[in-house]
Amino acid sequence: MNGAQQAALAARKKDIRSRWLLSTPALAIIFFAAVGPLFVMLLYSFMAKGDYGDVRFGEFSLDGWTSVFFQRDIFDDTLGFADAHLSIIWRSIQLSFFTTLLTLLLGFPTAYFIATRPPHTREIWVFLVTIPFWTNLLIRTFAMQQVIRNEGLLNNALIWLGVIKSPLQIMYTDTANLLGMTYVYLPLMVLPLYASIEKLDFRLVEAGYDLYATRFQVLRRIVIPLVKPGLVAGSILVFIPSLGAYVIPRVLGGGKNMMLGNLIEMQFGSGRNWPLGAAMSITLMALVMVALIVYVRNASRGGAGHA
């Protein structure tokens, strides 16, 4: 080996060392305060529950996992489905799905409209979407409460208009959850959609019209397939936080309209069943993973033909 090769090798080694050294602080913090705890939680889900929260160390138990889905009858000790848990899980999935749908119905036309403005105006529209997005989630949830509570803006306006006589009870219902989540997560749908519509080649749209397509056909057969990556990204960004929503159902949904996030919290708080809470958290993560895989599969299948 000659000198030049040796020097190159040494430089390479130094480069490898420095890039690992440089990324160590970030990786270490994330491992300590984000990824690592997830593994500890996985262990906890397989331990016996302690009497006052926590777990009994070293005592292996599957109770946490079985009680996510099943419950023992207090009278005859038979195992039945845990209806309360399952209905909350089902509600979370349904509400997240409808939230995604609603944000899509509002977000797509909005993103399209913004993307077809002149460049300078576009920037201002996007900025206006960004402001609510960076506003504290709790504050936005709380702001929604100002609109839908019994003496809130919506009811006052409807009564004033003579549409209804007494206020509609929207707070503490599933509708409140749905409206709150749609409101809070709407920017997460608009922004990625906008990014992909902005890149759309409108000559293709024009070609469609030249071939006598109607506006609806152009939208369905040309625009939507081409902006699918943005559509998928937006849907993931809305669906995932909706599934794990905690603050919105707590403030707007009340005790009867809990979602999975609140159920998990309950096991760590008053329920004092940490293994169950841990198992539920992992269930939630599994649901998120399934959603991600379905979306990504869809995206790669739809996107490949147009790339």
Partner 1 sequence: MLRSRFDVRAQPGFGLVTLFTFFALYLPIGALVIYSFNGADSLSRWDGFSTRWFVTAWQNAAVQDAAMRSLIIAIWAAFLATVAATMAALATTRTEPYRGLTFKYALINQPLMVPEIVTAVALLIVFSRIKVWTGYSGLGYLIAAHTAFCIPFAYLPIRARLESMDLTLERAAADLYATPWMTFRHVTLPLLRPAVIAGFMLAFVISLDDVVITEFVKSGGQDTLPTYMLGQLRRETSPEINAIATVFLALSTALVVIFFFINRKQATERN
Question: Is residue 214 near partner 1 by the rule CB under 8 A?
Answer: no
192 scored as a contact of partner 1 (CB under 8 A): no
Question: Is residue 81 near partner 1 by the rule CB under 8 A?
Answer: no
Scan residues 222-251 and list those touching partner 1 (CB under 8 A).
240-241, 243-244, 246-247, 250-251
**Does 212 engage in binding with partner 1 (CB under 8 A)?**
no
Q: How far is the CB of 84 from partner 1 (least distance, A)?
A: 18
> Contact region for partner 1 (CB under 8 A) — 2-10, 70-78, 127-135, 293-301?
127-135
Q: How far apart are CA 52 and CA 68, in angstroms?
A: 19
Smallest distance from the beta carbon of 304 to partner 1, in angstroms?
A: 21
By the rule CB under 8 A, 25 interacts with partner 1: yes
Q: Is 215 in the site for partner 1 (CB under 8 A)?
A: yes
Report in angstroms how near the CB of residue 38 gets to partner 1 at its nearest: 5
Residue 282 to residue 48: CA distance in whole angstroms:
17
Does residue 209 touch partner 1 according to CB under 8 A? yes
* 107 near partner 1, judged by CB under 8 A: yes
User: Do the Cβ atoms of 109 and 164 come closer than 8 Å?
Assistant: no
92: amino acid identity, one letter: S
Distance CA 196, CA 144 (A): 29
User: Rounded distance, CA 203 to CA 214, Å?
Assistant: 16
Residue of the chain from 183, 192, 193, 238 that contacts partner 1 (CB under 8 A): 183
Nearer to partner 1, 182 or 229 (CB): 182
Nearest to 40 by CA among 275, 229, 224: 275
Which helix (H) or strand (E) segment holds residue 40: the answer is helix 36-44
Q: How far is the CB of 220 from partner 1 (least distance, A)?
A: 11
Residues in the chain: 307
What is the secondary structure of 261-284 as a DSSP string? HHHHHHHHTTT--HHHHHHHHHHH
- Taking the complex as a whole, the smallest distance from the CB of residue 3 to partner 1 amounts, in Å, to 19
Q: Collapse the DSSP code of 71 into the 3-class scheme (helix H, G, I; strand E, B; otherwise coil) and give the result.
A: strand
CA angle 113, 186, 34 (to 5 degrees): 135
From 3-11, 108-116, 158-166, 224-232, span contacting partner 1 (CB under 8 A): 108-116
Residues 253-272 that bind partner 1 (CB under 8 A): 261, 264-265, 268
Question: Counting contacts by CB under 8 A, is residue 135 touching partner 1?
Answer: yes
Helix (H, G, I), strand (E, B) or coil at 50: coil
